[in-house]
């Protein structure tokens, strides 16, 4: 059997609990230590998951245990500083939460830090079982020539945009679209992601040559049929000349192809748990591989930065009232 991936977990908040549960359930990870500045959260979480090594100093934890991966599950506004400190302490690979950054400067800094080691973003949805089936369909060109992709979420761009865009833009890549060229967007209203202002409602078109990706994030997003939970108002539609597929986060999927309709289920949080486990298994595979296979990891910062630049482009396009280049 493959040996377990040695991981130091940084952060004991709500999402960190899901990471720890997935790591332990995956059978691919050995959480060798856990770290948080809040001693109460630290000990409560460590007790819950049976982790003996507990630290309030991340550098000390990394130095003592020499992990193969440092999983940083902290708020976005402090994440860059923690990643920088983890790199200085010798972290050979790092996983961070979405959104990867809150500014273009932070995004570029993370890409530079990831030049000589894997820094990956935890956009885990693409590892959901039904999405793995979609990727197979697209590789087989089962939908024919795809010219249009639509993605929407009922909440603001920074909340769930990273997940939706990662799915939609990966679909575009598999369809041979290449890189996005420009964004034309309109934004309305203001909300906050932590302390950072973010448009409450965003509608955008993203150009890939002759192909188009449409994005809605916020109240302008079309509702998911049958869905009553705002956080689950997420859907992607991929439209080809021989078929199309619609996938929602929590209300199933439908495939129209060859005059037939196929349907299946999706459900939160079960699908998320499966996906999070699969991501850690994939991290073990790439980090234990010889050479530099980590450079092509599915959600590495170089790839995630492209998604981030599209989101930034939406905001810039609306502010400047013009089409913005994102190449």
The tokens for 324 are: 């913005």
Which residue spans within the chain are E strands per DSSP? 5-10, 29-35, 54-55, 69-72, 93-96, 118-121, 146-153, 182-193, 196-208, 211-217, 234-240, 243-248, 253-257, 260-264, 324-325
What's the CA gap between 293 and 226, in Å, rounded?
A: 42
Mean pLDDT per 10-residue segment, the chain (327 residues): 93 96 97 97 98 98 98 95 98 97 95 97 98 98 98 97 97 97 98 92 98 97 97 98 98 97 97 98 96 94 96 97 94
Beta pairing, strands 182-193 & 324-325: antiparallel
Q: Are residues 254 and 294 in the same domain?
A: no
Asked if residues 4 and 284 have their Cβ atoms less than 8 Å apart, the reply is yes
Asked if residues 204 and 173 have their Cβ atoms less than 8 Å apart, the reply is no
Q: Are residues 64 and 143 in the same domain?
A: no
pLDDT at site 1: 66
Q: Are residues 137 and 215 in the same domain?
A: yes
Q: Are residues 136 and 262 in the same domain?
A: yes
Q: For residue 188, what are the β-bridge partners?
A: 201
Q: Are residues 200 and 252 in the same domain?
A: yes
Q: Which domain holds residue 320?
A: 128-267+309-325
pLDDT by residue (tens digit) across 305-325? 999 999 999 999 999 999 999
pLDDT at site 93: 98
pLDDT at site 95: 98
Question: 316-321 contacts: CB < 8 A, separation 24 or more?
Answer: 316/183, 317/183, 317/184, 317/185, 317/186, 317/204, 318/185, 318/186, 318/187, 318/199, 318/202, 319/187
Q: Are residues 15 and 146 in the same domain?
A: no
Cα–Cα distance list, 200 to 70, 138, 227 (Å) = 33, 32, 20
The tokens for 198 are: 């973010």
At 233, which CATH number?
3.30.360.10
Q: Are residues 85 and 219 in the same domain?
A: no
Q: For residue 141, with 0-12 CB atoms within 10 Å meaning exposed, 13-18 middle and 19 or more buried, which class applies?
A: middle
What's the CA gap between 214 and 224, in Å, rounded?
A: 16
What's the CA gap between 9 and 86, in Å, rounded?
A: 11
Residue 124 φ then ψ, to 5°: -80, -10
Q: Are residues 11 and 85 in the same domain?
A: yes
Asked if residues 180 and 209 have their Cβ atoms less than 8 Å apart, the reply is no
Q: Are residues 169 and 58 in the same domain?
A: no
Q: Are residues 184 and 167 in the same domain?
A: yes
At 15, which CATH number?
3.40.50.720
Asked if residues 58 and 37 have their Cβ atoms less than 8 Å apart, the reply is no
What's the CA gap between 208 and 182, in Å, rounded?
A: 8
Q: Are residues 286 and 155 in the same domain?
A: no
Q: Are residues 257 and 201 in the same domain?
A: yes
Q: For residue 257, what are the β-bridge partners?
A: 243, 260
Total number of domains in the chain: 2
The tokens for 19 are: 């990471």
pLDDT at site 2: 85
pLDDT at site 327: 78
What's the CA gap between 216 and 151, in Å, rounded?
A: 7
Q: For residue 214, with 0-12 CB atoms within 10 Å meaning exposed, 13-18 middle and 19 or more buried, which class applies?
A: middle
Beta pairing, strands 211-217 & 234-240: unpaired
Q: For residue 70, what are the β-bridge partners?
A: 8, 94
């Amino acid at each position: 059997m493959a040996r377990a991936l040695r991981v130091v977990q940084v952060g004991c908040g709500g999402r960190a609990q899901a990471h720890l549960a997935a790591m332990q359930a995956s059978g691919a990870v050995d959480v060798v230590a856990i770290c948080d500045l809040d001693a109460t959260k630290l000990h409560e979480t460590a007790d819950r998951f049976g982790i003996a090594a507990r630290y309030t100093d991340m550098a000390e934890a990394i130095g003592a245990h020499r992990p193969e991966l440092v999983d940083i599950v902290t708020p976005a506004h402090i994440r860059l500083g923690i990643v920088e400190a983890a790199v200085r302490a010798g972290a050979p690979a790092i996983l961070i939460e979405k959104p990867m950054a809150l500014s273009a400067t932070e995004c570029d800094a993370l890409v530079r830090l990831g030049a000589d080691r894997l820094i990956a973003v935890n956009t885990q949805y693409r590892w959901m079982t039904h999405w793995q089936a979609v990727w197979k369909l697209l590789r087989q060109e089962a939908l024919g020539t795809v010219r249009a992709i639509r993605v929407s979420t009922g909440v603001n761009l920074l909340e769930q945009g990273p997940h939706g865009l990662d799915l939609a833009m990966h679909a575009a890549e598999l369809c041979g679209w290449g890189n996005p060229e420009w964004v034309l967007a309109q934004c309305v209203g203001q909300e906050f992601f932590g302390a950072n202002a973010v448009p409450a409602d965003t509608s955008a078109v993203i150009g890939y040559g002759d192909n188009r990706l449409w994005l809605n994030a916020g109240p302008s997003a079309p509702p998911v049929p049958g869905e009553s939970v705002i956080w689950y108002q997420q859907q992607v539609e991929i439209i080809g000349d021989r078929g199309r597929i619609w996938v929602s986060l929590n209300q199933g999927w439908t495939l129209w192809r060859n005059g037939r309709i196929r349907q299946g289920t999706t459900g939160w949080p079960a699908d998320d748990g499966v996906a999070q486990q699969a991501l850690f298994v994939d991290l073990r595979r790439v980090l234990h591989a010889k050479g530099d296979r980590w450079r092509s990891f599915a959600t590495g910062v170089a790839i995630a930065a492209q998604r981030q630049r599209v989101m930034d482009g939406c905001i810039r396009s609306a502010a400047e009232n013009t089409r913005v280049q994102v190449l």
